[in-house]
Every structure is written in C-alpha cells, then in structure tokens.
Amino acid sequence: MSTRKAVAVALLALSTAAFAVDNTPPLADPAMQQRYLALINEFRCMQCQNEALADSNVSLAADLRLEIHDLIKSGKSDDQIRDYLVARYGEFILFRPRMSWRNAWLWAAPGVLLLGGLAIALRVLRQRARMPISGDDPPDPVTDA
C-alpha cells in the first residue's frame, strides 16, 4: 500500500514536467537559474492575467522570460528586474503587490476589522453581564448567531 502511494506521489510529482512551457535556455550558473525560476513565478502574464510568466505559453510571456533571463545574465539584481518590469507594465504585473500609501488601507483593513469586531464583542459581553439572570428568557437570536 505505502509503496503504491509512493509511486503515485512520484508520478504526480513528475506529471508537472509534461506541462512545462518554458523554452528559454537555462542559465549556466545554477544560482542564477534558481533566481530565474523564482522570478518567473513572481510575475503575471499580462495577456492571461491569472497565470504566472512561468506557466504561460503566450508568446509575450516567452519574450518576458527571455528578457528576465538576459537581465539576470547581465548582472541585474532581483529588485532591479522587478523595477524594470513594473516601470513598463505597472504594479499589476506583480502577483504580490508592493506596500504603498495608496494600498495601505488594504493592509490595515484586517487589523481594523479585527479591532472593530473585538470592540463589538466586548460591548455585547458587558451588556450581557449586566442583564438580570432569569431562566425563561429565550436566547437572543442576534447575539447568539
């Protein structure tokens, strides 16, 4: 059974190779190639939008992979490559948007909502604590929801 499972997992792991679309020649330096593989997963394919550059077989994605390949080869850092692509295609090309004043409220929203929820919960709890205890009050449908 466990051997079977292992074989299944191995086959599953191998199956992704069949979907590989990247024809860019690998970089000679393994560290550079590693950076290349990480970077092409960080950027959006502008044509298909929900695919990464790494997964897209659109010709523009292939061009951009080659561009990233060449930029790494020419000694550019990861950040320089990110700036290069953002300057041309906008922040939209980044799957993980950068923090800025424009989107700060989005980053703050979960914390604000959590604090708001805590404040409401605290109020309700305090109210309840003040309520007289009587056995036959039906449970409040709102606060028990």
Partner 1 sequence: MKRSLLPLGLFALLVIVLAFGIYNAPRNGSKIIVSPLLGKSAPEFTLPKLIDVGQQYSGQSLRGGWHLVNVWGTWCVECRAEHATLLQIKGEGRVPIVGIDWKDDDASAVAWLAQLGNPYQTVVADRDGRVAIDWGVYGAPESFLVNPQGIVVEKQTGAMTMEDWRSKFLPHLGTGAQSAGKSGS
Residue ranges that bind partner 1, judged by CB under 8 A: 46-47, 49, 59-60, 63-64, 67, 86-90, 92, 140-142, 145
72 burial (CB, 10 Å; 0-12 / 13-18 / 19+) is: buried
Between 92 and 107, name the residue whose CB sits nearer to partner 1. 92
CA distance 100 to 80: 18
Instruction: Kindly state the smallest distance separating residue 64's Cβ from partner 1, in Å.
Output: 7
At its nearest, how many Å lie between partner 1 and the CB of residue 56? 11
Least distance between partner 1 and beta carbon 104 (Å): 19
- Which residue, 29 or 63, has its beta carbon nearer to partner 1? 63
Q: What is the largest CA-CA distance in the chain?
A: 78
Structure tokens at 18: 């069949």
> Closer to partner 1 at the Cβ: 32 or 62?
62
Tokens matching residue 79: 């950040």
Helix segments in 16-134, DSSP class H: 30-40, 59-73, 78-89, 104-130
For the beta carbon of residue 44, count every other beta carbon within 10 angstroms: 20
Q: Note whether 119 and 125 are within 8 A (CB).
A: no
Give me the least distance between CB of 115 and partner 1, in Å please. 18
Minimum CB distance to partner 1 smaller for 34 or for 123: 123
Cβ closer to partner 1: 46 or 72? Answer: 46
**Least separation, in Å, of the C-beta of 89 and partner 1?**
5
